[in-house]
Structure 1
Amino acid sequence: MALTLLSLSLSNTVARPGGASGLDIVAGHDIAKLVQNLLLLLACYFLMCFYLYSAERPTARRRARAEGVVVALVSVTITLAAVTVSPGALSKPFRTVDMTIPQVAFFYLCAGLYITYAIGVAGWWSAGYARKSSRPHATGLWMTAIGLGTMAVACAVRAVFVAVRFCGGSVPHKLTTLAALLLVVSGLLFMVGITYSGVLARITATRLWLRRRRDHRRLAPLWQLLIEVYPENQLRPASRTPWDQWRARGVHRRYHRRIVECRDGLVHISPYLVGKDDEADLLHLEPVQLARRLRRASAAIQKGAPVPARAVPLAVPQGDERDSDVDQLIAVSEALRLTA
């Protein structure tokens, strides 16, 4: 897919006036048009390979070789047509180029039919995968399939225009413009479709990254109180590089490490919170009440109070989910911040 996008980008660059004139000056007339179409053929081939290796794994390598032979033959064919035509015959836009010249008509027809075939097959495979997938992947695949299908239809229509003009007929300007507009719209839809799932995943990952950075800071009061009492509970960081705090992996690692350190500290400090008859009441303490007891227990430990008999659970989450556990810890930490 990366090679597909790279080939498309290079093809668009060559198609621009600056790129086309530069190539024509260096290599002669019509070379820019040839290079542009060769890059388009490569983009279609790489797109097919993407689906081949994902849809037909047992025969992917053999099928990819066969498709490579086809695209090589098409490339050689349009190259021969481009180098045998009179200079400047291909350099004009599609709407005004003289299709009655056999090499010109053959150039556009051969390239257009292969692109129609490759894009149509890729669109068919995209639709098949979309039916089997769930959201958000199905949404992106359906957009890709519709974009590729529409693009294949537009290419087929342009091939018909080539045949009509080769036979001496004329095509209304509005139809040519409509076909070109259809290509642009379908191309944009294809680009959105293939990037949809990835962009959505990046957005979700960014939201998770931001939320965990925020929760890491919100746990700071509880973590600091417990680490001051039990410094041995502080886990060794996996990395001390300055940019680790901004990397996604570093943020998630520090977030989980802080949760573990807080839970370990609560286990160690819990015996100091237990009175004679209130062990069961500790499970039902409000965050503010628990925060006050934690401060008193921390002060008692620092004064050398003897270690009580055993630990008891504190700030027990309402559910089994990790988020519920973190919410309980954050509630106690926020209470500590307010009662400081």
Structure 2
Amino acid sequence: MSEATLNVMYLPIAVISGVIGFSKLRELLRSFRDYLLVITISSYMGVTAFLSMSPLVWHPLGNVSGIPALGSFVAYLSIFGYAAFHHILVLMWGRDSGVITASRLFRKTRALGIVYALIAIGMTVSFLMANTGPAEPWSFDVDLAHDSGILAFLCLYAGGCLFALWRAARECSKCADYLVDNGSQSVESIRGLRWLSIGTWFIWLSFVPKAIGFLAAAAGHRELDALDTTSPLIGSFGALFNQAGYLGPAIGAWLRERRDLRALRPLWNLVVPENAVHLVRPGVLAETFGTGVRFHLFRRIIEISDALVLLRPWMAPEPAERVRAAAVRQGLSQEEEDAAATAAMVLDAVSRKRRDEPAQPTPIAQRLLPHVDPAMERERLVRMARALDAPVVRSVSAGTSDPQSRTTSVRPLAR
């Protein structure tokens, strides 16, 4: 395997791992979560592993330190650390999903932490005691396996990684199965766990030919050296699956936030300018490219909710009742009926306020627009915004005394 091939294979994965690590570090600084800390550490261990194994870094590192194979030591220790933290991370997800209790997680992570720390210390001592001679990045294992110190280092490395990855892959599958069996609607999380399980099994599989290769080389059989070169290919493929598992749910959440921000625009245009509670409308970067989408979505939900509270004195039950009667005839679901009814009531309230009708002293909207859990407010407002153009709402709005209310209420604002 040429050095150029290794550079092309390892450097992009190091960059991807670095980007993921940076994004998780930003989230960690905003709000500390133990699993975010573990993901961040694991991502940067992936960066150091793939960078130090790249010949572009491997050779200068050996020349500067005077230890030719120092790059391999850094890479192998980082890979083992990645496997260990990956195992602990999956256990944390199991706790958050309800697979295991917090007390059991604490006991398991404490025991695993001690075992993995001892393995890492053993790897370090074995490598430092070894007589490391000339080697190449792609053949470090087989070139130096004859040395007892390097052989012990490799056995600890392979054994520790095989155990950690095997357990992590099983825990990923168990956690995904648990979410499915309990009716979880988090499709992205389940898919991410599946991808992580597949990627982890590939990485686990990559250690099998590696172990066979260096054990055969230690026994003097170099004819199996080719097995060792297949390990990075399998491991890199698994690493890409793992990064997709880490990044997939985050991308899915970002796409949903961008979609909901845009979906809420008509409702925002309808109620917020009427009540002068808005600040600055999100620009094209937020709605089109998703720049700062989480902040803008959160602010948009708050502004709409505040505006609906101010509109309550003008809300009446008649539009909602007419929509519900029509929805029953059309066979709409309960969610569609509720969204259409509230949308019609809000359209009517905006029309009444524009006609300078007096506010009702005792608003009835508390019953018609009841309080919901903050986690559900986003979903309810998105459904309401999409219902503004529903046929059943248009048919009811067409019969109001202000036929222009629906079209003018969603007029675009100047950007």
Tell whether the 8 Å contact from 2:146 to 2:219 is kept in structure 1 after alignment: yes
Is 1:16 matched with 2:54?
A: yes
User: Residue in 2 aligned with 1:36?
Assistant: 75
Q: Structure 1: how far apart are the matches of 2:359 and 2:119?
A: 83
Q: CA deviation at 1:144?
A: 1.0
User: Residue in 2 aligned with 1:50?
Assistant: 89
Tell whether the 8 Å contact from 1:7 to 1:43 is kept in structure 2 after alignment: yes
Q: Structure 2: how far apart are the matches of 1:35 and 1:309?
A: 73
Give the partner amino acid of 2:158: G
User: Residue in 2 aligned with 1:208?
Assistant: 260
Tell whether the 8 Å contact from 1:11 to 1:35 is kept in structure 2 after alignment: yes
Matches within 5 A, 1:132-147: 132-134=178-180, 135-147=187-199
Look up the SS of the partner of 1:59 in the other structure: helix
Give the TM-score, by structure 2 length.
0.60
User: Residue in 2 aligned with 1:273?
Assistant: none
User: Residue in 1 aligned with 2:45?
Assistant: 7
Q: Structure 1: how far apart are the matches of 2:308 and 2:120?
A: 60
Q: Structure 2: how far apart are the matches of 1:280 and 1:74?
A: 72
Larger Rg: 1
Q: CA deviation at 1:114?
A: 0.9
Which of 107, 129, 132 is the matching residue for 1:84?
A: 129
- What do residues 25-78 of structure 1 show as CA deviations (whole Å, max 9, x unaligned)? 443212222222222222222222223443453233333233223223222322
User: Residue in 1 aligned with 2:119?
Assistant: 74
Compared with structure 1, are the counterparts of its residues 282 and 210 closer, same or farther at alpha carbon in structure 2 (3 Å cutoff)? closer
Q: Structure 2: how far apart are the matches of 1:337 and 1:187?
A: 51
Compared with structure 1, are the counterparts of its residues 56 and 182 closer, same or farther at alpha carbon in structure 2 (3 Å cutoff)? farther
User: Residue in 2 aligned with 1:254?
Assistant: 303
Matches within 5 A, 1:1-340: 1-29=39-67, 30-53=69-92, 54=95, 55=100, 57-89=102-134, 92-94=137-139, 97-134=143-180, 135-172=187-224, 175-219=227-271, 224=274, 227=275, 247-261=296-310, 263-264=311-312, 266-267=314-315, 298=354, 325-326=384-385, 333-336=405-408
Write out the 4+ residue segments of structure 1 that deviate beyond 4 Å after TM superposition: 89-92, 171-174, 239-246, 279-285, 290-301, 306-313, 321-333
User: Residue in 1 aligned with 2:184?
Assistant: none
Compared with structure 1, are the counterparts of its residues 337 and 90 closer, same or farther at alpha carbon in structure 2 (3 Å cutoff)? same
Q: Structure 2: how far apart are the matches of 1:163 and 1:120?
A: 21
Q: Structure 2: how far apart are the matches of 1:41 and 1:281?
A: 64
Moved more, 246-255 or 199-208: 246-255
Matched residues, number? 307
Q: Structure 2: how far apart are the matches of 1:130 and 1:281?
A: 44
- What do residues 100-157 of structure 1 show as CA deviations (whole Å, max 9, x unaligned)? 2333333222211111111111111111111111333222211111211221122133
Tell whether the 8 Å contact from 2:269 to 2:409 is kept in structure 1 after alignment: no
Structure 2 unaligned runs (5+)? Answer: 1-38, 181-186, 284-291, 324-342, 370-379, 398-404
Look up the SS of the partner of 1:100 in the other structure: coil
Q: Structure 2: how far apart are the matches of 1:33 and 1:242?
A: 49
Give the partner amino acid of 1:167: A
Compared with structure 1, are the counterparts of its residues 162 and 19 closer, same or farther at alpha carbon in structure 2 (3 Å cutoff)? same
- What do residues 204-253 of structure 1 show as CA deviations (whole Å, max 9, x unaligned)? 12211222234312556xx53xx5xxxxxx66x7x899999963321221
Look up the SS of the partner of 1:257 in the other structure: helix
Give the partner amino acid of 2:196: T
Give the partner amino acid of 1:49: I
Q: Structure 1: how far apart are the matches of 2:245 and 2:350?
A: 53
Q: Structure 2: how far apart are the matches of 1:323 and 1:184?
A: 41
Q: State the Cα RMSD in Å.
A: 4.3
Give the TM-score, by structure 1 length.
0.72
Q: CA deviation at 1:193?
A: 1.6
Q: Structure 2: how far apart are the matches of 1:167 and 1:241?
A: 70
Compared with structure 1, are the counterparts of its residues 127 and 118 closer, same or farther at alpha carbon in structure 2 (3 Å cutoff)? same
Q: Structure 2: how far apart are the matches of 1:336 and 1:251?
A: 20
Q: What percentage of aligned pairs have identical amino acids?
A: 13
Compared with structure 1, are the counterparts of its residues 217 and 181 closer, same or farther at alpha carbon in structure 2 (3 Å cutoff)? same
Look up the SS of the partner of 1:249 in the other structure: helix
Q: Structure 2: how far apart are the matches of 1:293 and 1:113?
A: 69
